[in-house]
Chains A and B, each alone.
Chain A
Amino acid sequence: MDISIFTRAILAGTALLVAVAPTSAAEPGRLLASQCAQCHGTNGAGPGFEEIAGKDLFNDLIDMKYRPIEGIMDRQARGYTDEQLRLIADYLSTLPGNGGD
């Protein structure tokens, strides 16, 4: 094994490394929306409380965030910025779900 060639290959830089990597960049909102899955199922498709995939829930989330706290979702919605709620809602709206409530 030729260490010097090997070292040069490593030092060739990030561009080369990216080219051989196996995965693609995450879609915006995916990580934030995954925090809904503990109660609404992976990818928002249940099992759990209301199915949240395949719907635009932005207005609902904003409503929950700013109305008086009655239930646990009113509390949860306060845990995100409006911009984060937009990202979450946009991402969830692209998911297929199971057609449940």
Chain B
Amino acid sequence: MKNTLNRRQFLKLASAMTALAAVPRAVGAATTAPRVVVVGGGFGGATLAKYVRMWGGNVQVTLVDANPNHVSCILSNLVVTGALPMSRITLAFDSLKANHGVTVMQGRAVAIDAAGNTLTVSTSSGNKILPYDHLVLSPGIDFVPAAGNWNPNLTPHAWQAGAQTTLLKNQLAAMRSNDTFVMTVPKAPYRCPPGPYERACVVADYLKRKGRTGAKVVVLDANASITAEPEAFGHAFNVTHAGVIQHVPNATVLSVDSSTRSIVTSAKTVNNAKVLNYIPNQRAGAITAGLPLNSTGFVPVNPLTYGIAGYPNIHVIGDSCAVPSSDGKAVPKSGHMANSEAKICADAIIRSFTGEAPDEDIATSSACFSPITNKTSSWLSTNFIYGDIFDASGNVKGKGMQRIDAGEAEADMIDGDSYQDMFIWADSLFADSYS
């Protein structure tokens, strides 16, 4: 044992010595490849796993997900309306395994031993303990429901795609003339800022196309105004779908009763809606519970590494993380952005193996296409560069991802070309993340 560095003993020792926290974790890699464990096979986790393998050379990557595949929220509103089949948004992990050598473990991540550098995963064959050199958490969102009697199996949120999407689709299909579809927009920050408004549009469009005269879509928005693409959705609500969509701002949800499909908000109460699509407020995924959280329930991260203060080898990417940014210019939570962040995180982890500092010349972006009808779409683009970030008064408050505001951020035309582009974008994003 005198001349051999035993990896496990080394890590045990290193984790016991705080002063050595910054020592690259791959020091033991003379005999073993470093191990990266990823929790969550959404766009963030899948991209992270793929790019660490693609860029990192001899690195073991294990992707943990509770499901055998990932069902994308992107395009899922078109599954709700029946425009697309569920198979169109179901993304397998097979290519990550076959093309990139990622190990996939189906199970639920239940506990992190940060001192011991292990993750416990509950699987169908019992608990598995996964040792890691870097742990990347990409668990998406968890819900913070209002008071009352909430049961998502009666009133679907469909804000995590899959069975929830099918349930909402079936409820929408059962609507008749003069019925009311009631939905909520969560208080920001939440997953996919344009998503709820897009849903309102495609549901309204569906009801009109099916001849459901007098049917209404009531949008109870917890925010003071439309949070994304205000011009496109404002036009859609006031012109394209005028008389069908009613947008109610400042509607803080006070209580929900799923059994009667009733909802009480600070602005409006609806009892016995035909469909109640209550999308609750959101926080970081449950596995982050023991980590430092900000006031809105998300995990503050270093934008260069997606690392967490006090946990040198644990990273959080995607919807669960809070990226430092200028006041009023938050980094949006989206699948496209999660993919973007995963690449920054993957590069930083790989650099840490060779003792390199993280790259500071970085940029992230999100783009999306939002259908307004079954033939038209708008688009949104948001870009960020690392550098100074500012408070509301314009004073520098630190370093982070600064939103680039040059030019309009949203499409000035809602058109059919964008509807076709939406599928090119989605297929490219699916492939870059999963193939």
A residues with CB within 8 A of B: 1-3, 5-7, 9-10, 14, 17-18, 20-26, 30-32, 34-35, 37-42, 46-49, 69, 72, 74-76, 78-81, 84, 87
Residues of A contacting B339 in the complex (Cβ-Cβ under 8 angstroms): 38
The interface bits of chain B over 21-61 (1 if a CB of A lies within 8 angstroms of the residue's CB, else 0) are 00110110110011000000000000000110011111100
What is the bound-complex CA distance between A42 and B383, given in angstroms? 19
CB pair B354–A79 under 8 Å, yes or no, is no
User: Which residues of B in the span 47-79 have a Cβ within 8 Å of any Cβ on A?
Assistant: 50-51, 54-59
The residue that A23 contacts in the complex, of B58, B364, B385, with Cβ under 8 A, is B58
A-B contacts, 8 listed (Cβ < 8 Å): A1-B9, A2-B2, A23-B55, A41-B431, A49-B424, A72-B421, A78-B383, A80-B383
Whether A32 contacts B362 in the complex (CB less than 8 A), given A49-B424, A78-B406, comes out as yes
Shortest B333–chain A CB gap in Å is 15
Interface size on B, residues (CB 8 A): 65
User: Which residues of B in the span 350-373 have a Cβ within 8 Å of any Cβ on A?
Assistant: 350-351, 353-356, 359, 361-365, 367
CB pair B407–A25 under 8 Å, yes or no, is no
What is the bound-complex CA distance between A46 and B431, given in angstroms? 9
CB pair B2–A35 under 8 Å, yes or no, is no
The residue that B353 contacts in the complex, of A23, A47, A48, with Cβ under 8 A, is A23
What is the bound-complex CA distance between A79 and B339, given in angstroms? 17
CB pair A38–B385 under 8 Å, yes or no, is no
Residues of B contacting A48 in the complex (Cβ-Cβ under 8 angstroms): 424-425, 427-428, 431-432
Residues of A contacting B355 in the complex (Cβ-Cβ under 8 angstroms): 14, 17-18, 21
> Is B239 part of the binding interface, using a Cβ–Cβ cutoff of 8 Å?
no
Q: Give the secondary structure class of A's interface.
A: helix
Shortest A75–chain B CB gap in Å is 4
CB pair B432–A30 under 8 Å, yes or no, is no
What is the bound-complex CA distance between A98 and B422, given in angstroms? 22
What is the bound-complex CA distance between A32 and B421, given in angstroms? 23
CB pair A24–B5 under 8 Å, yes or no, is no
**Closest 7 pairs between A and B when the two form their complex, measured CB to CB:** A79-B383, A48-B428, A22-B58, A75-B381, A78-B406, A20-B30, A21-B354
CB pair A26–B359 under 8 Å, yes or no, is yes
CB pair A26–B26 under 8 Å, yes or no, is no
B residues with CB within 8 A of A: 1-2, 5-6, 9-10, 13-14, 20, 23-24, 26-27, 29-30, 33-34, 50-51, 54-59, 336, 339-340, 343-344, 347, 350-351, 353-356, 359, 361-365, 367, 379, 381, 383-385, 404, 406-409, 411-412, 421, 424-425, 427-429, 431-432, 435
CB pair A23–B350 under 8 Å, yes or no, is yes
Residues of B contacting A10 in the complex (Cβ-Cβ under 8 angstroms): 10, 13-14, 20, 23, 27
CB pair B13–A3 under 8 Å, yes or no, is yes
What is the bound-complex CA distance between A44 and B347, given in angstroms? 18
CB pair B343–A31 under 8 Å, yes or no, is yes
The residue that A41 contacts in the complex, of B13, B344, B432, with Cβ under 8 A, is B432
Whether A75 contacts B407 in the complex (CB less than 8 A), given A6-B13, A22-B34, comes out as yes
CB pair A72–B381 under 8 Å, yes or no, is yes
CB pair B367–A80 under 8 Å, yes or no, is no
Shortest A100–chain B CB gap in Å is 13
CB pair A79–B363 under 8 Å, yes or no, is yes
CB pair B347–A26 under 8 Å, yes or no, is yes
Residues of B contacting A49 in the complex (Cβ-Cβ under 8 angstroms): 421, 424-425, 428
CB pair A39–B356 under 8 Å, yes or no, is no
CB pair B6–A1 under 8 Å, yes or no, is yes
What is the bound-complex CA distance between A74 and B406, given in angstroms? 10
Shortest A92–chain B CB gap in Å is 15
Shortest A34–chain B CB gap in Å is 5
Instruction: Name which residue of chain B comes closest to A16, CB basis.
Output: B27
Whether A75 contacts B409 in the complex (CB less than 8 A), given A24-B57, A34-B343, comes out as yes
